[in-house]
Amino acid sequence: MGKLSLLVSMLMVSCWAVEIQVEDVDTAWQKYLAEFPIKIQTKSEIWFRKSIFSETHNNIAKHNANKDATFEMGHNQFSVMTEDEKQQFFGALLPATPVNISLDVSSRQVATSVDFRTSACMSPVRNQGGCGSCWAFSATAVVEFQKCRKSGFVRVDLSEQQLVDCSRANGCSGGWEHEAWQYLASNGGQDLESRYPYTARAATCTFQNANSPGAQISSTTPVQWIPSGDTNAMMSVLTGGRILSIYMQLPNSFMNYRSGVFNDGACVANNAHAMNIVGYGTLNGIPYWVVRNSWGSSWGASGYILVQRGVDLCMIERYSRTTNVL
C-alpha cells in the first residue's frame, strides 16, 4: 500500500471513530434529556449545556472503563451544571476541633455490620435543592431517627426549614449540625415539617414556642463528639442504634457516583458537605460506611453512597458527631 493510500485509510478510520464517538454522545444526551428534563430557552443554552454534558460523559466513560475502579459513575442532575451551580448544593462549614469529648463507648461490642437504610425509622432521602442547607438536613436526620426509635418506631418528619431560618443568619449559605442541635436544645425543640415546610431559601424565623415540638434535645448534652478518627467509636454509636453527622470535602467524581465503594481521595476544599453515616460493612474486601445524602433519591444509589472506611477519606472520620433526643 502506498503512502497516500495509507494516509487516506488512516484518515477514514479516524473520522469513523470520531463519528461513532459523536453518535454515542448524542445518543446519551437524548437519553439524559428524557430522564432529567431541563428547561432550555435558547439554542446557545442548549449547546452550552450539551458541552458540559459531553465533558461529563467522557469523564464517566473513562472512569468506568478502568477495570481497577471500585465504584461506578453515572449521569444525574449534576451532569449539566457548572462548578458555580454545583456549589449551591453544598453548605457545610469546617468544624472547630472540640475541646471536650463527652462520648464514652469503649466498653460496647461493635456489630460486624450495620445498615439502617431499610429501618422503619429511616425517613425517605430528602432533597435540599439549590440551598446550602446540607447541615440542616444532616442534623435533622439524626434527630428524626433517634426520636422514632424512642417513640416505639413511629416515624416523625421534622422541619429543616426551622433550622435554616432560626438557628443562624442566612442558613442557605452554610452551617454546622452541632450548632443546630444547640439551638434546638435552647429554643424549645424542632417543629414538624407539616407546620414549617421546606422552601429551599432562607427567610424570617416563624417558629412558635407555643406549639408542641416534634422532638426535643437534651439541654445538658445536646452534642456528643466522637474522638477524631476513632472508627471503632463511630461503629459503636451505630451499633447502639444512633446515626452520625459527618463532614466531607468532596472530590469532583462524587457528584456522579452511582454504585460501589467510593475511594477517590482527590478532595476539594470548596466542596464541603454534611451528610449522615447510617451503617457500615464490607464489599469485595473493602470496608465501607453507608452514607445518606440530601440530593434526592435519584442521586447515587437511591440517595446513598458507600464510602471507604478506615482511611479518613476526605475527612469523613474527623468530625463525626451525634445528639441526644429526649
| Rounded Cα distance, 304 and 34, in Å | 23
Spot the catalytic one: 57, 127, 273, 276. Answer: 273
Nearest to 187 by CA among 216, 146, 148: 216
CB-CB contact of 137 with 126 (8 Å): yes
DSSP state of 108: P
Q: 248: which strand partners?
A: 273
187 flagged as catalytic: no
Residue 98 DSSP symbol: P
Q: What's the CA gap between 80 and 278, in Å, rounded?
A: 30
**Residue 41 burial class via C-beta count within 10 angstroms: exposed 0-12, middle 13-18, buried 19 and up:** exposed
- Whether 273 is a known active-site residue: answer yes
Which one from 276, 293, 314, 324 is the annotated catalytic residue? 293
* Residue keyed to cell 470535602: 249
Quickly list DSSP for 275-288: EEEEEEEEETTEEE
Do 240 and 111 touch, CB atoms closer than 8 A? Answer: no
Residue 182 in grid coordinates: 444547640
Measured between alpha carbons, how far is 325 from 174 in angstroms, rounded to an integer? 23
Name the active-site residue from 134, 148, 166, 172.
134
Catalytic residues: 134, 273, 293
